[in-house]
Amino acid sequence: MYKGDVFPRDTFKRLNSNDNSYLIDVRTDAEWAFVGVPEFERFIRIPWQFFPTMERNVQFVENVAAAGVPQDAEIFLICRSGQRSAAAAAALTEAGFANCYNVAEGFEGDKDAAGHRGAVGGWKHAGLPWVQS
């Protein structure tokens, strides 16, 4: 099991206070392009699943290692709402990465009463830095 869930603002504080920390966005290429991505120096995009089939990236752990992320780094994983990133954090932990955390609420947070994301929780709603291509 991974170390735990951390809310976006706490994640951002911890990322900024530890030079051996990384933020890994596990969403799909389509989400990165159309919804935006967190803006942070040690930010890596590695999909947990591939769009449009949503087939799992069976090389996810290898991709993280190939990106140069040390096994003792503090790793925060983020997706849309926190589900895929929790699975990715568990997979990295099982592979020997010692300090993996799930970003609770994800990038967009939960749906609001109208069924839209981005207004209830999440990285964007917390006012943290992000960009859109």
Are 126 and 109 within 8 A, CB to CB? no
Residue 132 lies in a domain: no
Does residue 45 form part of some domain?
Answer: yes
Counted domains in the chain:
1
In a domain, 25, yes or no: yes
For the domain that residue 81 is a member of, what is the CATH number?
3.40.250.10
Structure confidence at residue 76 (pLDDT): 98
* 20 neighbors 76 (Cβ within 8 angstroms): no
Whether residue 43 is contained in a domain is answered as yes
Task: State which amino acid sits at residue 6.
Answer: V
Per residue in 11-65, pLDDT tens? 999 999 999 999 999 999 999 999 999 999 999 999 999 999 999 999 999 999 9
Q: State the pTM of this model.
A: 0.96
Which residues does 76 contact at the CB level (< 8 Å), separation at least 6? Answer: 6, 11, 14, 15, 21, 22, 23, 24, 101, 102, 103
Closest CA to 109 of 133, 87, 85: 85
Q: Which residue range(s) make up the domain with 52?
A: 4-127
- The span from the first CA to the last CA of the chain, in angstroms, equals 34
**Cα–Cα distance, 28 to 5 (Å, whole number):** 21
Within-domain flag for 61: yes
